[in-house]
Amino acid sequence: MPAGKRIARFRADSASYQAELINELEEDGVLWTITADQDSAVRKLITSIPETAWQEAFPGAGYELAETVHSMEKTKRSFRLVVKREERRQQNLFEQEKYFHYAVAANLPEEKSALDVLLWHNRRGQAENYHKELKAGFGQDQMPCGQSHANAVYFRIGVIAYNLFLGFRRLACPEAWGRHTIATVRWKLIQLAGRIVHHAGQIVLKLRVEADLLLLIQGIRQRCSEESLATT
């Protein structure tokens, strides 16, 4: 990390389920969650969890959660192991166990429930979608040249554009657009054909669109104006 910066939280898939990394995170005071490898030790630990410990995550969740404590051979401290189990729907077709199991190792404080740990850990997958949008939507999949400093400037401009788009989508666009990518917003809004004309001393943009889309565009324009006034 750059000087004066530190990592405060870390969440990762099972590739990071390593004693050396976990020890490093603990020494640095990082809060972490990592998908646990279901090796023989973890499987044995799961089978030892009493039936009374399993609780439905919330009414209608369709899965149950339990928690125990675990340590790897070379970890210096023990850690929480949150286990999710879900009943197999077609278990009679094959010789299989009754449940699917999914385990998350964590050192989050005890006031965070097992469900809190699981939900926070599962949010890591969304980060990959952010990276994909930055790369594919804003031309960051390839750098323009072989000079590191020039590429850094190019990448920072792309990140600024991406963050501006996120702000525009959240503050100015309809709530239903909250998950739209830049490609979708380009198709619905930016790429609309229009004609700029001068009329009665004013500059007017004429759009050939349906009435409901025109109202939507006017709403976006109004919210942009309100946000601009609010920040000045």
pLDDT at 124 over 90: no
pLDDT at 190: 87
From the list 58, 85, 84, 83, the residue with the least C-alpha distance to 68 is 83
83-97, 120-134, 207-221: range with lowest mean pLDDT:
83-97
Tens of pLDDT, residue by residue over 98-121, are: 889 999 999 999 999 999 999 999
Strands (DSSP E) found in 112-230: 194-199, 202-207
Report all structural domains of the chain as residue ranges with CATH numbers, in order of start.
Answer: 9-122 (3.90.350.10), 146-230 (no CATH)
From the list 223, 1, 2, the residue with the least C-alpha distance to 10 is 1
The whole-angstrom separation of Cα 86 and Cα 56 is 10
pLDDT at 125 over 80: no
Q: What is the DSSP letter of 37?
A: P
> Strand 55-56 relative to strand 9-12: parallel, antiparallel, unpaired?
unpaired
Tens of pLDDT, residue by residue over 12-41, are: 999 999 999 999 999 999 999 999 999 999
Strands (DSSP E) found in 36-155: 55-56, 64-70, 79-87, 99-106
Q: Count of CB atoms within 10 A of residue 75's CB?
A: 17
pLDDT at 209: 87
Tens of pLDDT, residue by residue over 166-212, are: 999 999 999 889 889 999 999 989 888 889 999 888 998 888 888 88
pLDDT at 6 over 90: no
CA atoms within 13 A on the CB side of 26: 18
- Take residue 29 and report the two structure tokens written for it: 């005071």
For the CA atoms of 186, 190, 193, 199, the dihedral, rounded to the nearest 10 degrees, stands at 170
| Mean pLDDT computed over every residue of the chain | 90
Tens of pLDDT, residue by residue over 85-102, are: 998 876 565 556 788 999
From the list 185, 223, 191, 183, the residue with the least C-alpha distance to 209 is 191
